[in-house]
Structure 1
Amino acid sequence: MEGISRDIMYAVFRTQKALYRLIREDAARVGVTEVQLIVLYTLLKKEHIRLNDLAEKLNLSNSNVSGTVDRLVGAGLVVREPSKQDRRAVILSLTEKGKETVSEAFGEQSVLRRRLGRIQELVSPEEIEQFLHLHEKIKAILLGEE
């Protein structure tokens, strides 16, 4: 692979790596891993979600998410409850401790939050909108959804 294709691939990889590094810093500060923090944040934004829906949303395998959720349940950050609609399904929710952990991770001391704020200071709203639109378009093409 060469040229612009390689440049696109490396640009995405480098951006993703930078985001994960910042999330890892915020996660370590509150005593969880970056994947655990991403799961907690997702549960904060989408309460009462099934395990397989969570795995799909995060683009991770069910077994990977299941192991992560097991550790979060063990830490008292997440609860599993049987679904009222489908007794075979399990619904995941944050505990109060889980909500506090996410809030602390992305609170005043959050490195990620400060850097994202810096983007908003240095990049115009129009450029951000254009970036988000282009990102969605590229993602759809890569996933064959165009």
Structure 2
Amino acid sequence: MTKERENIQKFMTSLREMHKVMDQVFRAIAVDMGHTPLQLFVLRQIAQAPEQSLKDLAEELKVSNSTMSGVVERLVQANLIKRERSTKDRRVLVMELTEEGQTTSNDFRQRFFAKLEGIKRLPEEDMQRLLALHQNIIARIKRDQATTTEER
């Protein structure tokens, strides 16, 4: 294996490990709070962009409409979100957090960042370099993907 391929393999292994660790943190918090990770993702998504339709939420979180429908129904039953008619299109139902949903979303956010406290101790220049490298890698992969797709 060439040095370049070996480095790519190490990079991919590192990304998988990072994803696994973050997923474990996320799942542990969700279980502790009595929710599923997807339910917390939905709450976070609605908190960031209120008045989303079920279809919008499903697309954003990359799940089917039927999966999202079940999640939304459980969150409505738990009084964490409410469905209301859109002010833009009365035919569309949009989701909004209830006060309890906002509290749960905020609680999750605080717990999540508390678990990642160690990241704050990275020097600022290291963090900025890491973020820049990630963006560079993403751009290169997308560019290579577009080139490969065009060649087909």
Shared fold, TM over 0.5: yes
For 1:30-45, what aligned pairs fall within 5 Å after superposition?
Answer: 30-45=33-48
Distance 2:118 2:36 in 1: 24
After superposing the two structures, state which structure 1 stretch, 51-60 or 15-24, moved more: 51-60
After superposing the two structures, state which structure 1 stretch, 75-84 or 57-66, moved more: 57-66
1:59 Cα deviation after fit: 3.3
The answer to which structure has the higher helix fraction is 2
Provide the TM-score with structure 2 as the length reference: 0.76
Aligned letter for 1:133? A
Q: Deviations over 1:2-57 (max 9, x none)?
A: 63333333222221121121111221222111111121122112222222322333
Residue 4 of structure 1 is matched in structure 2 by: 7
Distance 1:134 1:63 in 2: 37
**Identical pairs, percent:** 33
Q: Mind listing any 5+ residue stretches in structure 1 that lack a counterpart?
A: none
Match of 1:21 among 7, 11, 24: 24
Aligned letter for 2:15? V
1:65 Cα deviation after fit: 2.5
Pairs aligned (count)? 142
Kept in 1, the 8 Å contact 2:51–2:86? The answer is: no
Match of 2:89 among 86, 101, 109: 86
After superposition, the CA RMSD in angstroms is: 2.6
Provide the TM-score with structure 1 as the length reference: 0.79
1:118 partnered with 2:118: yes
